[in-house]
Structure 1
Amino acid sequence: MSENVINVLASCCGKLAQFRRNIVVRRKPPESMSAYECHLLGVEQLNIYSQSANENAIRLLSRAVELDPSFSQGWDELGFAYAVQGANGYGGNAATSLERFKYCATKALELDPGNSPARQCVGDFLALSGDFEGAIAENTRALRNSPNDSGVLALVAGSRALAAGDPAEGRCLIERALQINALPPVWYFSMLGRVTFVIGSHREAIAAFRRAPQDMPSTHMFLAMAPALLGEMEEANQIAARLASEFPDFNPEMFIAGYPITNPPAVEAIRRGAERMGLA
């Protein structure tokens, strides 16, 4: 019971952070905000997931670490903003977004070795360099340090699917995260969708991505590929047409290039789905 309360109230997306934003931060002029207050508003924008909100998140979180360069959590969240930018092609250069993501995550962990989300991200970059054992070890350490943090569980679940490790273990982790957080942020369903897509549970992946952020092209990519792999081409073609219309510059190879996607089952599943859809 205590795990549920902590995850609902105390996380960066929780009720206490929302209260702080609404009651205190919005009453201040921007020039008088502290690093933490910029961070709160930046995280709020980060969790909208549209391209314009992502730009605002990067601006606010960059300001937070400018005001306080020792703010580990600020660097951590700025890294996630660049991760969203890279995975969805928002920045125009996936390699640049990925490099900035890596820099921020590494900086966050250097400042605070107990920052489990940053450790999880650094683990993914080990996988990107070919060190899969190191990646699994870092993600396992993040879990050991924060065993009841639903956000860490969700992040490592996605990592098990896309970066390194056993995607089936990732499924157990994301189910645990959803169990102990009664009000999960919508990005948890992106992680659930990624895990179930990689292990081949495409109908479950569709259900998950329908609850995931709907302004991201990567969400619609999976929503097109999963029914295609089920042979449901009418639905798949409708979503693919929307993806092409609203995000004409986005494609699955951009998703792979802009995020630490190295786990062979994930790369194979995404490319097979893209081929089936003609999205490659």
Structure 2
Amino acid sequence: MRIRLLGGLEVTSAEGQPVRFATRKSALLFAALVLAGRRGHTRERLCEGFWPGRGDAQSRNSLRQALADIRRWFPAAGNAAISIDGDQETVALTAGPDEADIWLFERKLAESGTADLACAAELYRGDVLAGEAIPDGLDEWFRPYQTGYRQKALQLVERLSLALPETGSADEAACERLAERLLAADPAAEPAHRALMRIHAARGHENAALRQFETCRALLKKHLGVEPEAQTQSLATTVQTRGGNRLTASTHDTAQPTQAIAASARPHDQPSVAVMAFDNLGGTNDEYFADGVVEEITAALSRIRNFFVIARQSAFTYKGRFADVREVGRELGVNYVVEGTVRRGGDRLRISVQLVDADTRSQLWSERYEGATEDVFEFQDRIAAQVAGAIHPAIRGAEIELARRKPPTSLRAYDFVMRAYPNIWGRRKDTNNLAIELLKKAIAVDPAYGRAHALLAWCHASNAVFLWAESPESELEKARAAVEAAGSIGDDPTALTAAGSALSMGGDQERAASFIEKALALDPNNAWAWARHGWIAIYKGEEARAPERFQRAMALSPMDPFAFAVRLGMGYALAKTGSLSQAVAIAREVIAAHPDIITSYRYLAAWSAMGGDLETARWAAQKLMAGQPSFTIERFRSLPIFRNTPEWANKVVEGLKLAGLPER
């Protein structure tokens, strides 16, 4: 590579000598030809841009002299690697594809591998012609290139930081260096701040990541008078929750953390607890039963006022591996951890439970429960009450009583629901259909089991919205029927959330909201309900309300396997409010973590196309069609989720068309 424009102007001759053009105009003309590439420029435009007001004859003569100066260093020859070609109308630079840094930079950007992106990061040493003295008038010629490549570098640092496979790699170092270069040029460059936050967090340095956020916030306030973007705040929330730390005011800036961060964090005096997966000491076929015990204890604790209870889905990410309680407390941001064992043999049941202080590792309380298998529901309620009382003695008996839920009439039906539960989270068609079959078996045993009907409604609605079914409308009809069959579920937040979610995906946002709000009134720690509350806001056209709800869900379940839906919801809200580049970054983040979740490619295709990035949009469209060959824009547009926002739906449709997806 003999031509560098990123970070300054450096040119090397065929003999390896630094090129020194006779005049500044010659050097800048050479740079303009490099930027134009093979298409070149017309002589008329070059004359008007570089020698304005001189008259046609004089400006053309000046152009000939400058081109002669360039050709002195790069004479035309049959095997010349770099040469100037032209005719009476146009002038262009001819060179190999690796001779100029910006050409190689563009080519590496078009690749998807982290090594290619890291190479592009190393190539970007600064703005186009940074440090070069550009005369008045010509700055307008080069400014669009400077702005354009800086924007590409900002997109690159975001994209690379989201795609880094591991810490300590050369790719990570390249990303870090690029972020630092971008911040040296523009201290308020948020994508660079976010990249450093991700790198710090990946290294396990949550405090450093949060300090980077505080630095970003202070610089934005100083230079632009604004708060960080929603995406930056969301990232800080995730890091904050993972580290169990608190954002503190900077010594140079006593302003409080942004409201979006504070809204999702629990108060300092609020007891916080995570119920870990209990060890199953029975047969392997009882694994789901042990998990069900934990599910019900978690649900009961969640419904007690002034408790902050981490969702089961996040707590279960530690299942099957040793995890020190102090590590769990730090990563989930909790004071207390509940551990236990379950053994079921025939019609007998034994549950052992202990409550541990996550910071000191000391055991605060333990108990063992033995009895008939049918006593499981009583045991679950007693465990929740005793855990709550041990953590917070001031908890009133009335609150414990309110946390109790009427158990199902059949333990066998309950078994089927617990078997279905891990399969209902909207990631794959086959697991969703397995859940449907198990829930139908539960209903066959106990036709009045409201939770089974409500979860069945959710599964049918998922079949529709994820376009897993040939007839989405038929699936939505089944979902509506299941909600009606659920009957009285007013004391079960999980059932209310499932039914409300199904109604929302079926287009009935008002009724859905009433179900979700009732679920949250019963269980303010229900992460799933908070997430669906966010989606309802989007579907109702009230996207400004969605981010706070999604952040609350992420705080309650920071390691949730279903977190991809929350992140996509955050991206959706940003896209609808015009922040398409941030929405695209979130979609990329989800795809990097979960490339098998096909629905992510829909959003990436639409949002990228709407933002003018057709290359990314078409790549996402290809991925979507590879994973879901039956996808058509018409089927997607017909979903009831667009019922309240037709103008937005039309924009999405146009984006999907630009991405190249089939209309019918």
TM interval, short-chain normalised: 0.7 to 0.9
1:113 match: secondary structure: coil
Return the match for 2:557 from 156, 165, 181.
181
With the length of structure 2 as denominator, give the TM-score of the two structures.
0.36
Distance change in 2, residues 1:81/1:220 (3 Å) = same
AA aligned to 1:148 is N
Distance in 2, matches of 1:145 and 1:38, equals: 25
CA contact (8 A) 1:160 1:169 kept: yes
Of stretches 187-196 and 8-17 in structure 1, the one that deviates more from structure 2 is 8-17
Alignment of 1:1-280 (within 5 A): 5=273, 10=298, 11=311, 13=313, 15=315, 34-47=412-425, 49-108=427-486, 110-114=487-491, 115=493, 116-118=496-498, 120-121=500-501, 124=504, 127-128=507-508, 136=513, 139-162=516-539, 164-184=540-560, 185-186=562-563, 187-209=565-587, 210-211=589-590, 214-264=595-645, 266-279=648-661, 280=663
Structure 1 residues 263, 75: closer, same or farther in 2, change over 3 A?
A: same
What percentage of residue pairs aligned between the two structures are identical?
19
Distance change >3 Å, CA 133–CA 244, structure 1 → 2:
closer
Q: How far is the alpha carbon of 1:251 from its aligned partner?
A: 2.7
Structure-1 separation of matches of 2:504 and 2:482: 13
Q: Structure 1 CA distance, aligned partners of 2:446 and 2:458?
A: 18
Compute the displacement of 1:266 (Å).
4.6
* Corresponding letter in the other structure for 2:601: H
Letter in 2 for 1:104: A
1:154 Cα deviation from its structure 2 partner: 0.3
Q: Is residue 86–residue 95 contact of structure 1 (8 Å, CA) maintained in 2?
A: yes
1:169 deviates by 0.4
- Residues 34 and 67, structure 1, Cα contact 8 Å, conserved in 2: yes
Look up the equivalent residue of 1:42 and give its one-letter code: A
Tell me whether 176-185 or 263-272 shows the greater mean CA deviation.
263-272
- In 1, are the aligned partners of 2:574 and 2:580 still within 8 Å (CA)? yes
- Residues 90 and 136 (structure 1 numbering): CA distance in 2 closer, same or farther, change over 3 Å? closer
Larger Rg: 2
Cα deviation, 1:2-41, whole Å, max 9, x if unaligned, reads 686369873563547979xx9779xxxxxxx822222222
Q: Secondary structure at the match of 1:211?
A: helix
Q: Counterpart of 1:218 in structure 2: which amino acid?
A: T
Q: How many residues align?
A: 267
The alpha carbon displacement at 1:237 in A equals 0.8
Structure 1, residues 69-114: CA drift from partner, whole Å, max 9, x if none? 2222222221121122111221211111111122223333x23124
Deviations 1:98-140 (A, max 9, x none): 11122223333x2312443145337637954xxx655555554
CA RMSD after TM alignment: 3.4
Please say if residues 87 and 256 of structure 1, whose CA atoms lie closer than 8 Å, have aligned partners that are also in contact: no
- Offset at residue 269 of structure 1 (A): 4.3
User: In 1, Cα distance between the equivalents of 2:529 and 2:415?
Assistant: 23
Say which is worse superposed, 114-123 or 190-199, in terms of deviation: 114-123
Q: Is 110-119 or 3-12 further displaced after alignment? A: 3-12
Deviations 1:168-203 (A, max 9, x none): 101211111112223223332333333333333333
1:240-280 CA-partner distances (Å, limit 9, x unpaired): 01212221211344234345432316534432432332434
The change in CA–CA distance for 1:165 and 1:66 in structure 2 (over 3 A counts) is farther
Q: 1:181 to 1:191 in 2, by over 3 A?
A: same
Structure 1: gaps of 5 or more residues: 26-32
Query: 1:54-77 deviations in whole A, cap 9, x for unaligned?
Result: 221211222222222222222222
The 1:237–1:126 alpha-carbon spacing in structure 2 relative to 1, beyond 3 Å, is closer
Q: Following the alignment from structure 2 to structure 1, what is the Cα–Cα distance between the partners of residues 422 and 271? A: 23
Higher RCO (CA 8 Å, separation ≥ 6 residues): 1
**Aligned-partner Cα distance in 2 for 1:231–1:275:** 13
Contact kept in structure 2, 1:153 and 1:174, CA below 8 Å: yes
What amino acid is aligned across from residue 313 of structure 2 in structure 1? Answer: C
Whole-Å separation in 1 of the counterparts to 2:423 and 2:343: 17
Structure-2 separation of matches of 1:56 and 1:155 = 23
Q: CA deviation at 1:48?
A: 6.0
TM-score, scaled to structure 1: 0.78
